[in-house]
Structures are given as structure tokens and as C-alpha cells.
Chain A
Amino acid sequence: MRHLLGIDDLGRDGIDEVMALTDSFVEVSRRAIPKVPTLRGRTVAWLFYEDSTRTRLSFETAARRLSADTMNFSVGSSSVKKGESLRDTAQTIQAMGVDAIVVRHASAGVPWQLTRWLDCSVVNAGDGWHEHPTQALLDCYTLRHHLGSLEGRHIAIVGDVKHSRVAGSDVRAFAALGAKVTLVAPPTLLPASLAGWPVEVSHDLDAVLPEADVAYVLRMQLERQHEALVPSLREYTRTYGLTVDRARRLRPDALVMHPGPMNRGIEIAAEVAESSQAVIREQVSNGVAVRMAVLFLLLGSGRPDAHATADPVPTEVPLHG
């Protein structure tokens, strides 16, 4: 595996491989000294064009636990402010000798574009409204830990699917592992087209919750909503929020997940987020081990592409591409 751009690159076998490796890195993370020398001498750089707390810290912790060197880049204090292009910025970072670039960008497709410009590995840490594959992997790992297998399980993904790259990757990953996925959202918060999405759609959260093994609550992406997609946040909470009352409709063994950061009181009630059914903090801690597994597969395993089906072809790159 050379790059991790989207879940479809991995397929079911690839997801299984990451999950199995994650077990090993969970064990490493529990040691008194949670560090292995596996990526000694390798350098991983962050190219985050959007704010992030957990993803960036999680990748950084993962890289350090594998003994990789890390190179930080934040747009706010860089030459991007002087108008430097994405291509120049990425190639400048690569020229300093990095082995992998972890990128987050507000535009979908940026990680794919970077693979055409760069020789190093590229990891998608979130592109536009499109994909966030490592989040999906840590979600799968967390679910497998609790449910054993996802085969035949019913996962309800609730809320702002339209703006959610997490949903984009989760739907692909959950479906690849055999789960049934229902998107629960108002029509205005669903993508314009769901063609090719292996999902069912419902607008009635109360009806879906009793049948669900998992209620995966998405964040209302308030910063990405430039139009009035819901009448009001209060109205949204009343209809689609996982309130305390509504959470009672869940089976006692059902799980509640959220990719964070949470808008408490909007898409999820604080009491629900803190309940014993919620595995939200577990998602975060599993994220480190999952990202260790991903970085190891990209930089440490030294094997030829086992699962990468869509290694982008660096064909003739136009001068102004």
C-alpha cells in the first residue's frame, strides 16, 4: 500500500488487515513505554489546511509511537498566507525529505491530486465533504471490539450526511464489512445524489432507533452550511437530535458513536454522550492505534501494493496542472 486516499482503495481485505495490525498497536499503546522503533529514520509531515484537534494529534501521537520524525505545518503561519500554491507548498515539504504527507483540505480530491505531484506516500486526513478514511477505520475497529463482526448489523448514521466526509468513508467501510446502513436525515442534509451508496434512507429517527445496533450521530457542520438547510437548530434537535428521551428508544445493548467534535445539546445531548452506551472516547483512543497501523502499512511494511487498487497513475502532468 503506497497511499491511503479512500476506503475503496483498501477493500474488505485491506480493512481486515488494518484491523488485525491495530490489535498489535493497541497492545503497544498499553505498554509502560508505548513506543517501538519501527519507523525510525522516517519523517511524516502534516499538511493541514483546516483546523483539527483529534485527527492531527492522533496522527502525531501515532507517528511518534512508531519513532518517526514529524514535521508540522500550519497554514496560518506559512507561506500559504503569501499566496503559495498547494503544489508548491507540498513539493517544498517533500523536498525536505519526508516519507509521507498527511493532508487535510477543504476541497475534495486534494489528496488524489497530491499523489500526481509527489513521490512520497499521501494519507487523506479529510478532504472536503468526501472522505476521511482513518476515521472510518477507527470506527470499524471500535465497532468490532464491541460487536465482534459487523456482518448483518444495522447502523444508523444520523444527521448532516451531506457535509460529512466521515459519513462518506463510514458508509463505504461499514458496507464493505457487511453491515446494513440507514442514513437518517432531513432531505436538505443528504447529498444531492445517493447513486451508488449502499444505504437505505429514512427521515424518521424514532422509527429507526429501536432496530439499530448503532446510532452514529454526525456533527452538524455549522461552518460548512452557507444556507438555511434546517428551519432552526432547535427544530433540528427536536426532529433529529439524539436527546435523552429519544435515546431511550435504543436497545440497551446499542452503541452511540460520534466522530467529534460534538455540538452538545444540538445533535447529541450531553447526558447521552456521557452514557454507558456511548463509545465516543474509545473511538478517539482507538484512533491512535489505527493510525499507527496505517503509517506502518505505508512506511514500515516494505511490501508491494497488496490492496491498493487505485494507485493513481502519474501520467503526463501538465505544466500548469
Chain B
Amino acid sequence: MDGDDVRRAIRRMAHEVIERNHGVADVVVVGLQTGGVPLAEALATALTEIDGHDVATGALDVAFHRDDVGLRPIMPEAVTDIPVDLTDRIVVLVDDVLFTGRTVRAALDALGGFGRPRAIQLAVMVDRGHRELPIRPDFVGKNLPTRRDELVDVSLDAVLLGELDG
């Protein structure tokens, strides 16, 4: 996917979010650190443009909620910033790539610290398969079947598929 494809996918997902939730009045868009944050901002911008209402946007770092904490480096610059109480809101979690589902599981756990949302929905730019948990996205930019040893790199300018080194 090139930059235009990514922008079109975000626009389409924005329409789907509005349709599913009958507008954006209660919607809070939360990007998962680090890859999901720029996508969340882009999605929130698209939602505002289409629906005309400002959409609250936050960022969530799930490092301390992962079941493999200790096996991965902690990135201190990846901060959590949830600007509103999530109680009774509809949270749209945004991530760049959906793979095993463990990050999303950790995110669901982490969100519990910020109130009790009415609903949590999941938007991902790429669903690459290989799920290890029963987690399914609500909004998908692109389904991209991959091998386990392949890498998917997502930015606002492109989605790239590569080989794992070695």
C-alpha cells in the first residue's frame, strides 16, 4: 500500500466507525504506542472532518500490562495519555498491525484503569493473521495474510512487507 492507499483506508474506516456508532458523540480514539498513535490521530482527524465534531484522542502504552513484560524493552518515550474519563464512552482502539492479539489483550486490561467504557472497538491498519487469542478487529485497513517470519511495517506513507533478517 502506498500513502494514498493508507489515507483511503483511514477514510473508509472513519466512515465505518461513524456508521457503527451513529456518529462520534461518545467516541474516544486511543492509539496503541507506538505504531498506533499516528494512525489514531489520522483517524480522529478524518472522523472530525466527516462528522463535524471534535473527537478526543489518546495514547496508550501497554508495556506494563503485557504477559511478556521483561522480554521486551520498555520505551520510556512511549507515554500513556488518556485525556478523558472513559466511563460510558465508546473507545476505538487503534493499532498498526494485528498479529497474535496479545498487545490488544494487554490494552483491554490497561483500559480498565481509566474507567468503564460502554464499548471497546478495535481498528487496525493491517490484520496479518496468526492470532493466539480470541480477538477480532472491528475495522480493518487491509487483510494481509503473512508468514510468521515476515515483517509488516506500517506508516502513514506506506504499508511494507519484508523478510525477517537471518
Contacts and interface: CB of A to CB of B under 8 A. Distances in A.
Interface of A: 20-21, 23-24, 27-28, 31-38, 66, 296, 300-303
B134 interface: no
A296 B71 CA distance: 13
20 contacts: A21-B74, A23-B76, A24-B74, A24-B76, A24-B80, A27-B79, A33-B113, A34-B113, A36-B64, A36-B65, A37-B65, A37-B109, A38-B64, A300-B69, A300-B70, A301-B69, A301-B70, A301-B74, A302-B71, A303-B70
B95 interface: no
A33 B116 CA distance: 11
B61 A24 contact: yes
Interface of B: 61, 63-65, 69-71, 74, 76, 79-81, 85, 109-110, 112-115
Contacts of A34: 113
A33 B64 CA distance: 14
Contacts of B64: 24, 28, 36-38, 66, 296
Nearest to A37: B65
Q: Residue among A32, A34, A303 with the most chain B CB within 10 A? A: A32
6 residue pairs, one from A and one from B, having the closest CB atoms: A302-B70, A20-B76, A36-B64, A31-B113, A33-B113, A38-B64
A38 B113 contact: no
Contacts of B71: 302
Given A24-B80, A300-B69, 6 more contacts: A27-B80, A32-B85, A36-B64, A38-B69, A301-B69, A301-B74
A1 B80 CA distance: 25
Chain A contact residues: helix, strand, loop or mixed:
loop
A320 to B, nearest CB: 38
Nearest to A20: B76
A191 to B, nearest CB: 35
Contacts of A35: 113
Contact of A32 (B65, B109, B115): B115
B37 to A, nearest CB: 15
A23 B114 CA distance: 18
A28 B62 CA distance: 11
Contacts of B115: 32
A36 B65 CA distance: 6
A111 B51 CA distance: 62
A34 B110 CA distance: 10
Nearest to B82: A31
A31 B70 contact: no
A211 B74 CA distance: 39
Nearest to A34: B113
Nearest to A23: B76
Nearest to A38: B64
